[in-house]
Amino acid sequence: MIYADNSATTRVKPEVLDKMMPYLTEQYGNPSSLYAFAYDSKRAVEDAREKVASVIGARAKEIFFTSCGSESDNWAIKGTAMKYKDKGNHIITSCIEHPAIMQTCKYLEKQGFEVTYLPVDEYGRVSPESVRDAIKETTILISVMAANNEIGTIQPLREIGAIAKEKDILFHTDAVQAYGHIPLDVNEMNIDLLSLSGHKIGTPKGIGALYIRTGIRIDNLIHGGGQEKGRRAGTENVPYIAGLGEAARLCMEHMEENNKRLSAMRERLIERALKIPYVKLTGDPVNRLPGLVSLIVEGIEGEALLLNMYNEGICASSGSACSSGSLDPSHVLLSIGLPHHIAHGSLRLSLGEYNEEGDEIKIAEALERVAEKLRAMSPVWENGKPMWA
Ligand SMILES: *Cc1c(COP(=O)(O)O)cnc(C)c1O
């Protein structure tokens, strides 16, 4: 099997599991307990906080652990909305955000907030000028993702951050796909709030964090005990937090080499796949996530594509896992201007650290076989081309 769905989730790294094991077994103390036995748990949490912070140039005390990327996104958006509702009710985001942002914004619209969903260009880029133009007296938050989970496009965070700072508006970024994969610096990019998730970088599912810049107050999402300096209640998930710290450390240590290796594999995969007729790359051809290849295979349904790729031993996805199961093509692909019939043939191949050199060619060759087979049966494929060509 070739696993090419690392944007959906990743395999747990053995080093991460090793780091977690003591806290799943003999080191079960509650970090809030006052006796020496529990110190080790507390130390593990604080050590992880430092490692998670250092990936983005933050300070340890600016990192707050959550249960997942979705919680971090919810907290950032709802927490800001509630805290600043007397100052204004306008939020700016993009039309290609992850559902954790999109659905949170939809919910807030029902509560009387106003949301601007900025359009993107054909590559999925948000223009910083469109952010500037959307700002009003009542704008309290700008939230634009760092890199898109379906098409891999990296957004101009630095430029958007500069505008947010100039206008004195909070800037949040959903960096779940970018964190640990590409360089990010919250200070250079003027990021006030940043969401990240463990299972996209080699931890088990169910751990995340929100970076909150020192001095910024947002309302709590989870109320209860005084954990996380009173800002996120719930007894700390010590083993998972320790695992996230280790995953962050590994990302830091290997980011450059991983980036180089995966980008090269990505380029070879793209080059080979584009030799298949009526296959197109989606997303930004240059500023894209190192391991992410997003394609359109015209004349084929994404679901059929996936199942047949799986029969070839390849795990991939079509659009995002979150939206599969629905018959509508992804909002991201429609937002970059693809018509429905084209967007239906989407395929996302996301390479990760455990992929081996040569996987990219095997994947492309399998795709060629699958495309040929499915097109032969496709009602919209005639004489070697799609009906609309
Ligand atoms: C995976 C993902 C999330 C959600 O993270 P979970 O930890 O699965 O809740 C949010 N945003 C983006 C861009 C993602 O890729």
pLDDT tens digits, residue range 351-387? 999 999 999 999 999 999 999 999 999 999 999 999 9
- Residue 326 confidence (pLDDT): 59
377 CA → ligand 1 middle, Å: 36
Dihedral sign (CA 352, 358, 361, 363): negative
Q: Is 198 in the pocket of ligand 1 (CB under 6 A)?
A: no
- Residue 325 pLDDT > 60: no
Q: Mutate which of 77, 197, 237 to test ligand 1's pocket (most atoms within 8 Å of Cβ)?
A: 197
Which residue's structure tokens are 């950032």? 76
Q: CATH 3.90.1150.10 occupies which residues in the chain?
A: 255-386
Give me the active site residues, please.
322
What is 255-386's CATH number? 3.90.1150.10
Ligand 1 atom nearest 71 alpha carbon: 9
CB atoms within 10 A of CB 82: 14
Q: What's the Cα-to-Cα distance from 187 to each of 57, 162, 214, 286, rounded to whole Å?
A: 7, 10, 11, 24
343 lines ligand 1 (CB under 6 A): no
* Residue closest to 299 by CA, chosen among 196, 210, 381, 213: 381
Residue with the smallest CA separation from ligand 1 atom 3 is 69
294 lines ligand 1 (CB under 6 A): no
CA nearest to 290, candidates 319, 308, 270: 270
Q: What is the pLDDT of residues 228-262, one digit of tens each?
A: 999 999 999 999 999 999 999 999 999 999 999 99
For the ranges 80-94, 282-296, 325-339, the lowest mean pLDDT is seen at 325-339
pLDDT at residue 327, as a whole number: 63
Does 197 sit in the ligand 1 pocket, CB within 6 Å? yes
CATH code for the part of the protein at 14-251? 3.40.640.10
Q: What pLDDT is recorded for position 329? A: 83
Instruction: Please tell me the number of Cα atoms within 13 Å of 195 on its side-chain side.
Output: 29
* Residue of minimum CA distance from atom 8 in ligand 1: 69
- Is pLDDT of 89 > 90? yes
Q: What average pLDDT does range 190-198 have in this prediction?
A: 98
Cα 246 to ligand 1 centroid, rounded to whole Å: 19
